[in-house]
Amino acid sequence: MLNRKKMYLWASLLLATFTFQAVAEETDAAASLTKSLENIQTFRANFVQKIRGADGDNVSKSSGEMMVRRPGKFYWKSQAPDPVLVVADGKHLWTYDIDLAQVTKQDLNQALGNTPASLLAGSVVNLKDSFKISTAKKNQCRGSDECYSLHPLSKDAAVADIVIGFAKGKLQEISMHDSLGQDVYTKFSKVEINKNLENKIFDFVPPKGVDVIHAGN
């Protein structure tokens, strides 16, 4: 029978082994995700987004078009019943609520933070400094063959977790659980990667007659 000291030694070695494996898996997942995201310099797709409330009820469903060009260029336009245009021009993020005739202007770096948009429009060189990254469970993605789970390291992050999935190397889906307890799921189709996108797509001038709100610093 093992004496108590040997039992503690075996337990310590076993714990160290599990810890090493977990760190290695996290490092591999971070490297693999970073590579997949770095391969995306421009991105264009249609999307369908569903939002479910903390009580499990469906809050909204929208569809539209999204375009991205690194670094810092982003275009998102949803159709009725909630028409919204979001444009990042490299310095600022403009959010135009068409029904309300209201535009919100924010500093781009502050607005992106640790959000899903930052994964596509921002730098991913130091991704593991902002997120704890692991390979997601099979049931966390819906049809993707490459799936990752990201948990922001910042306590002030706007999202609790993000799951991002790829199918045959193309971004397929992004889901997140936000600070309000809502689940947001976005599915992409007609995906085009690294195609030419004109500069004017990411230019935004507030239409005449709309209210412009300056948010943040």
Three-state DSSP class for 82?
coil
Using the CB atoms, write b or e for 19-53: b if 16+ within 10 Å: eeeeeeeeeebbeebbebbeebebbbbebebbbbe
Contacts with 83 (C-beta within 8 Å, 6 or more apart), sequence order = 77, 98, 99
Residue 188 has pLDDT above 90, yes or no: yes
Using the CB atoms, write b or e for 67-86: b if 16+ within 10 Å: bbbbebbbbbbbeeeeebbb
**Computed from CA positions of residues 135, 139, 142, 144, in that sequence, does the dihedral angle turn out positive or negative?**
positive
Residue 95 has pLDDT above 90, yes or no: yes
pLDDT interval class at 180 (50, 70, 90)? confident
How far apart (Å, rounded) are the C-alpha atoms in residues 138 and 170? Answer: 17
Residue 9 has pLDDT above 80, yes or no: no
pTM: 0.80
pLDDT interval class at 3 (50, 70, 90)? low
Range(s) of the domain holding residue 177: 4-214
**Span 57-67, average pLDDT:** 87
The count of structural domains within the chain is 1
Does residue 175 contact residue 119 with C-beta atoms inside 8 Å? no
Residue 177 has pLDDT above 80, yes or no: yes
**What CATH number is associated with residue 190?**
2.50.20.10
pLDDT at res. 26: 52
